[in-house]
Structure 1
Amino acid sequence: MQVQPYVFFNGRCEEALDYYCAKLGAQVTFKMRYKEAPPDPQNQPRPGLEEKIMHASVQMGSTGWMASDGHCDPAVGPMSGFSLSLTADDTASAEKYFNALADGGQVMMPFQPTFWSKGFGMVVDRFGLMWMVTLPEG
């Protein structure tokens, strides 16, 4: 069994993926816009979503995850109830990732040594996605 995160960016998916590619080394391995999907008379996207991302597959290090613009509903509240955990290989990488995610976001816990790791910090990035950046003891 495999469990993968599927993150909905409510209209900011392309911007988020471009940012993660530039700052975290993510790679978009597949991307489909709503206009590229086969027509489905039972489930048509509302007008204005044609250029939005219906589905994307993303690779970050050894982890694959998925993303979408979703339905771009202005009534949808902020993302909540989950966080992505990014484990870095070294101090320089951990600090680089944390600072990139904090740029334009909100630091919930500064990146610092803890009793369980060489470094740990929590941040909600500019897209509303919460991240936990960890540098393990080992």
Structure 2
Amino acid sequence: MKLNPYLYFNGDCKAAFTFYEKCLNGTNLVLMTHAGTPAEATTAPEWLDKIIHARLTVGDVLLMGSDAPTEHFKTPQGFSVTLGFDDPAEAERVYNALLEKGVATMPLAETFWAKKFGMLIDQFGTPWMINCENRPA
């Protein structure tokens, strides 16, 4: 079994996934719009270029998402997408990259359980936790 996050966006899924591809060194980015799919016939013209499904490979995990129609979109809450790192320098790089135009909710720092841990909400409203755990010797 694999557990893969699926994120909803308020019309900016394409920008978000392009940003995540850069920040997370993602690969195999797929951005599928409503245009050209069976949903096209029932989709409003202004929504045809919005993302019906996005997929990005990050390590051995898929990050997926789509644009939610405005009347169905809700601001993300009650969860964080957590990224685990072995290298504190890479944890810091990704934290700072995701923080661009975002808000730090807990600055990246050493904790009693981690070499580096921090929390942020990115410019698209997605909450993230960055964790580089201490490993027992």
Same fold (TM over 0.5): yes
**Offset, 1:65:** 2.1
In structure 2, the CA distance between the partners of 1:106 and 1:74, relative to structure 1 (3 Å rule), is: farther
Among residues 38, 45, 48, which one is paired with 2:46 in the alignment?
Answer: 48
Among residues 74, 78, 82, which one is paired with 2:75 in the alignment?
Answer: 78
Q: Which residue of 2 aligns with 1:128?
A: 125
Aligned residues: 135
Structure 1: any 5+ residue segments left out of the alignment? none
**Offset, 1:28:** 4.0
CA distance in 1, matches of 2:39, 2:127: 34
Q: Which residue of 1 aligns with 2:58?
A: 60
Contact 1:28 1:56 in 2 (8 A): no
**Offset, 1:75:** 7.4
Deviation digits for residues 92-137 of structure 1, max 9, x if unmatched? 1110001111111010000001111111000000000000001111
**Offset, 1:74:** 6.2
CA distance in 2, matches of 1:93, 1:64: 19
Deviation digits for residues 12-71 of structure 1, max 9, x if unmatched? 111111111122212244321101212476xx2233111111001111112112111121
In structure 2, the CA distance between the partners of 1:82 and 1:28, relative to structure 1 (3 Å rule), is: farther
Contact 2:9 2:67 in 1 (8 A): yes
**Runs of 4+ displaced beyond 4 Å:** none
CA distance in 2, matches of 1:30, 1:76: 22
CA distance in 2, matches of 1:95, 1:39: 41
| Two-structure CA RMSD over aligned residues (Å) | 1.8
CA distance in 2, matches of 1:103, 1:77: 22
In structure 2, the CA distance between the partners of 1:48 and 1:89, relative to structure 1 (3 Å rule), is: same
**Offset, 1:81:** 1.5
With structure 1 as the length reference, what TM-score do the two structures score?
A: 0.88
Contact 2:29 2:56 in 1 (8 A): yes
Q: Which residue of 1 aligns with 2:87?
A: 90
With structure 2 as the length reference, what TM-score do the two structures score?
A: 0.89
Q: Which residue of 2 aligns with 1:107?
A: 104
Structure 2: any 5+ residue segments left out of the alignment? none
In structure 2, the CA distance between the partners of 1:2 and 1:91, relative to structure 1 (3 Å rule), is: closer
